[in-house]
Amino acid sequence: MKPRFTKLIIIICTAVCLLLQTLPVNSSAKAATNAASDPKAIFATANSAYAKGHYQQAIKLYQQITSQGYQSGPLYYNLGNAYYKTGATGQAVLYYEKAKRLFPGDADLRANLAYALQNVNEGASTWQNRIWETAVGSLTLEQGWSAASICFFILAGLLISVILKPERREQWKPWFQITLSLVAIALVIFCSLAVCTGIDQSRTYAVAIKDGGQARFEPNSQATLYFVLPEGARIQILEHKSGWSLVQRRDGARGWVNDAYLKNF
Amino acid sequence: MKGLAAKLLIIITALLLTLTTGAATLALSAEIIVDRNSLAVGDSLQLQVSVAGSTSATPPRFKAVGGLQIVYHGPSTSVQIINGRVSASTTFNYSALATQTGTYSLGPLTVKAGGKTIQTNRVQVTVTAAATPPVPAQQSAPAQIATDPSDPVDSQLKKRLFLTMDLPRTSFYSGETVKTTIRLYTGGIEIQDVHYPTIKAADGCQVEIGKPTESRRNLNGIQFKVVEFPTTISFIKTGHLQLGPATLECNALVQRRSNDSFFDDFFNNYEQYPQSLASKSFQVTIKALPPPPAGFSGGIGRFSLAATAMPQEVLAGDPITVQATVTGRGNLASIGAPTIGNATGLKVYDAQRKTTKKEAGFGNKALFEQIIFPLKTQVTAIGPYSLVYFDPEQGRYQTARAAAIPVKVKPNPNFNLSVAGKPVDSASNQLGQGLVYIKDTPGRLRLKNAAVTRQIWFWLLQLLPLAAIGGAFFFRRYQEQQNSDTPLARALRADRHAGKALHQISKLLENGAYDEYLDELHRIFREYLADKFHLTAGGITGSVTNQLAATGVAETTLQNIAAFFEQYDRYRFTGAKLSKADTAQLTELVVTVITANRQLAKNGKKMGNKSGG
């Protein structure tokens, strides 16, 4: 009975993992087949243009892929690089941030984002913000929920084994309790991270794509000036009113900025 | 409680002291502002004394000036907060009515504000003779229209209702903007349905007419009500053109007189006379500007420049707002911003116009705001500012200047001077040299909505472990129930046990061990009956049918049970020889009983379900 039951659990877990891995791939492959032009070929052409220093052409080609509805971390990362090479720091930061949502753990991306922001005075971040950014920047939403899902399946398997074979609980005690606790903790952590990332992604963030965006106390150009957004500064959009956005800087300072200076991501 | 109140009092006092000290340290200045520097006798101008840095100034008094009657209308105050710093100002409003020709000097005045005494500037105002409208010389005191039958109504209307327009010169430059006024004079005549005036102009100029104001003027002994329409005319093409006349449509109301003055007074019998008024027209020449110098602001006219900065004491990296005010006559609506002379150590953003083009067109100033970040503590001043413009009266380019504004920049430990102060241009050659190179492959390219978490199947899949846990739980409970010693559990497993046991003893028949088979069959049947009817297996004999009859077992089954025990006793205790056919018959009896009970249980369950349903 024991080997048969263990085999069943292994089969179920393997099937779930395979399902998680294969279904998105299938959908992307299908989409790729339907696309009028091959995005991978366009990507390669764009990379060649970049290598030759034709950054505007590279941007145009990368944008062609995004206009087909595709996205990927490396695509946004390369777009960020190309924009930075043309001097458009704001656009570069915008695409690095988009890339961060798709592959947050990439060291190159982190390095380039930090490089692009070195001349941008965004205001000192609060410690609460730093903790939050670390939490939501560690995993993508998809990774978080997938990991939580796998933990859930494992935990369910362990619970089923306890239910069906209670007489073996004592026998399994040493490793069973440790495994059960670790999987339960992992489930809670992954669920929390996924929820935090989901909350964060439901918020509206923007990047100042032009220099000199003036944040004022009221949404009109005559209102008193509070601070000025440098190009590339990342801010959160709290409210929108007739062409003006109420933005919050990383240090918590809030002001109304004309929409012409901002681009959401 | 007493201690708490004392602490609160100390805190409030400290706050008040801080605020008072802050207010006292604001830079105090006072200025006399007039809306124009020349006016005609009978006209009035707006006069203001603006005190910056205080909201508690006392209104200054103008000394009596012979040709101007100055009337005080009251103060207005404003408080602004820029980058957390408070700025305050008080404006005292006056009006001055010109009564005699001449040049008059207003100020300097002494103003008391914030416990200090400050001096204002001096302003020159020139009063010229009243404009001579085309009023006939023989015009007399307010006439009774239509009272003189010898003077027709049209003739009298022309004397008392007319339109004028002036031009300072007849030669202008392309791009020049001229301010003029269209005046509607009405002397003792009621008018209604007054249309906005229009100016007949060629393609080479643009005309804008502003909101009218009303005043009174005495011309040759007749009191006129004057409606003034401020007008700006911009010349945009070179050449000769005709400007005007200005025209205006309205209806004059003239009282009809009959022979009975009683009824005239009682009924107010007025008659409408549609009037189409026109001023004189002008032949003007528009010339091209000479080649402009570098930094030309596009301004054509005569301007002066003033600049202020707030705050004047900042930390390095904090913004300073510079307000540059261009005043004077000319194309203020389209003039460019003044330029800063020295930007060393500063990060300078483009100046932004704060007065709308329309405001500037009819006003006499254009206000620009510029954000400047001092990057070094060595910065001691911002400016000077300059504005290059063309003076059409002198026919050459001029430069208006505003002196540098002193500022104090304190060190800022949170400001990274080397990074923020790094000019972008200097790094443009090596732009992006520190970037990590691009990725060779696009990774997992996929459509934006193809994420797993956006698929419904992913969330439905999460129900699978829950269903499995539920299933395992119920299965376990079923197992436990089956293994318990309750009458129901025993009855449920009786059939299964009996079936298995009968199958196992079938080998005894194949080996010809009929006696052993009989003993085993007897044991199995007793155990079956014990489990099925919750009895003790050891004591079961043929008399068990008496007990079972009370439990509702079918009569046939009871007979079969009794028959089995009778035959068993016969073979066991009489020494009768047992054949294979006998064992088959006995087995048949057992199977018949088990089958009948199973059928009975099924029927009973069905009945139970029906009655329960």
Model pLDDT for residues B41-90, shown as the tens digit of each residue: 777 777 888 888 777 778 888 877 777 878 777 777 666 554 555 567 78
User: Rounded distance, CA B229 to CA B189, Å?
Assistant: 19
Residue A40: count other Cβ atoms within 10 Å of its Cβ: 15
Task: Specify the amino acid at residue B38.
Answer: S
Chain A residue nearest residue B322, CA to CA: A225
Q: Strand B190-192 relative to strand B171-173: parallel, antiparallel, unpaired?
A: unpaired
Whole-number Å distance between alpha carbons of A90 and A74: 18
Residues B202 and B275: their CA atoms lie apart, in Å, by 24
Phi and psi at residue A206, to the nearest 5°: -145, 165
Q: CA B391, CA B289: separation in Å to the nearest integer?
A: 10
pLDDT tops 50 at residue A9 = yes
Q: How many angstroms separate the CA atoms of B424 and A89, rounded?
A: 11
Beta bridge partner(s), residue A234 = A207
Residues of A in contact with B435 (CB under 8 A): 81, 84-85, 112, 115
B/e letters for B186-208, b = 16+ CB within 10 Å, e = fewer, are: bbbbebeebeebebebeebbebb
A-contacting residues in B 464-483 (Cβ below 8 Å): 464-466, 468-469, 472-473, 475-476
**For B65, what's the count of Cα atoms within 13 Å in the CB-facing half-sphere?**
25
Phi/psi for B381 (5° steps) reads -150, 155
- Strand partners for B52: B29, B89
pLDDT in tens, B211-222: 888 888 887 777
CA distance A222 to chain B (A): 7
| Residue B18 scores a pLDDT above 80 | no
Higher per-residue confidence, B542 vs B140 = B542
Which residues in chain A have Cβ-Cβ distances shorter than 8 Å to B452? 20, 23-24, 142, 145-146
A153 near B454, Cβ under 8 Å? no
| Contact: A27, B450; criterion CB under 8 Å | yes
Rg of chain A over Cα atoms, rounded to whole angstroms, equals 24
Q: What is the separation of C-alpha B122 from the centre of its chain, rounded to a whole number of angstroms?
A: 44
CB B170 within 8 A of CB B242: no
- Give B-chain residues touching A115 at CB under 8 angstroms: 434-435
pLDDT band at B118 (very low <50, low <70, confident <90, very high): confident
Higher per-residue confidence, B15 vs B120: B120
Verify cis geometry, omega within 30 degrees of 0, for the bond prior to B59: no
Residues 144-203 of A with CB under 8 A from B: 145-146, 149, 152-153, 155-157, 159-160, 163-164, 166
Which residues 86-105 of A are in CB contact (within 8 Å) with B? 87, 103
How confident is the model at residue B427, as a pLDDT?
42
Give one DSSP letter per residue of B149-174, joined into a string: TTS-HHHHHHHHEEEEE--S-SEEET
CA distance A224 to A33: 55
pLDDT at residue A77 tops 90? yes
Best to test chain A binding among B452, B458, B462 (most A CBs inside 10 Å): B452
- Mean pLDDT check: name the lowest of A205-219, B193-207, B509-523: B193-207
pLDDT score at B105: 86
Residue labelled with tokens 């003039």: B335
A31–B451 CB contact, under 8 Å: no
Q: What is the residue type of A121?
A: N
pLDDT of B163:
92
- H/E element, B325: strand B320-330
Sign of CA dihedral B577, B579, B585, B586: positive
Cite the DSSP H helix spans in chain A: 2-34, 39-51, 55-67, 73-85, 89-102, 107-116, 127-136, 141-164, 169-202
CA A208, A212, A217, A221 dihedral sign is negative
Q: Tokens 């706050």, residue?
A: B15
State what percent of residues in chain B have pLDDT above 90: 6
Cα(A160)–Cα(A153) distance, integer angstroms: 10
State how far residue B431 is from chain A, nearest Cα, in angstroms. Answer: 6
Contacts with A, B 367-396, CB within 8 Å: 369, 371, 373
Closest residue in B to A156 (Cα) is: B465
Quick one: which of B121, B124, B97 has its CA closest to B32? B121
Predicted local distance difference test score (pLDDT) of residue A101: 85
pLDDT in tens, B352-401: 777 665 555 556 788 888 888 888 888 888 888 999 999 988 889 999 99
The total of other beta-carbon atoms located within 10 Å of residue B511's CB is: 9
pLDDT of residue B68: 82
- From B286, B288, B295, select the one nearest B389 (Cα to Cα): B295
pLDDT band at residue A75 using 50, 70 and 90 as cut-offs: very high
Nearest to A186 by CA among A141, A153, A142, A151: A151
Taking an 8 Å cut-off on Cβ atoms, the answer to whether B452 and A163 are in contact is no
Burial class (CB in 10 A: 0-12, 13-18, 19+), B165: buried
- Please give the model's pTM, rounded to 2 decimal places: 0.43
Question: Which residues are bridge partners to B479 per DSSP?
Answer: none
Q: What SS3 class is residue A208?
A: strand
Q: How confident is the model at residue A165 (pLDDT cuts 50, 70, 90)?
A: confident
The whole-number average pLDDT for the span B86-104 is 79
Which tens digit of pLDDT belongs to each residue from A40-68? 889 999 999 998 888 999 999 999 998 88
Question: Minimal CA–CA distance to A156: which of A8, A23, A2, A4?
Answer: A8
Residue B470's pLDDT is 92
Residue B429 to chain A, least CA–CA distance (Å): 10
Return the minimum-mean-pLDDT range out of B2-16, B432-446, B516-530.
Answer: B2-16
In A, which residues are within 8 Å of B369 by CB distance?
A: 225
The reported pLDDT for the residue numbered A14 is 62
Name the residue among A50, A87, A156 with its Cβ closest to that of B438.
A50
Question: What amino acid occupies position B513?
Answer: A
Contact list in B for residue A141 (CB cut-off 8 A) is 451, 453
Helix (H) or strand (E) holding B321: strand B320-330
Q: What is the mean pLDDT of chain B?
A: 78
Give the pLDDT confidence score for residue B481 in this predicted structure.
Answer: 78
Asked if the model's pLDDT at residue A1 lies above 50, the reply is no
The pLDDT assigned to A20 comes to 54
Are B468 and A70 a contacting pair at CB < 8 A?
Answer: no
Note the ipTM here.
Answer: 0.71
- Whether A47 has its CB under 8 Å from any CB of chain B: the answer is yes
Q: H helices of B325-421, where?
A: 357-362, 417-420
Is the pLDDT reported for residue B333 higher than 90? Answer: no
Nearest residue on chain B to A210, judged by CA atoms? B349
Cα→Cα distances B272→B188, B254, B600, Å: 15, 6, 117
Residue of B439, B473, B477 to mutate, interface with A, max A Cβ within 10 Å:
B439
Whether chain A has a CB inside 8 Å of the CB on B412: the answer is no
CB contacts of A159 in chain B (<8 Å) are 469, 472
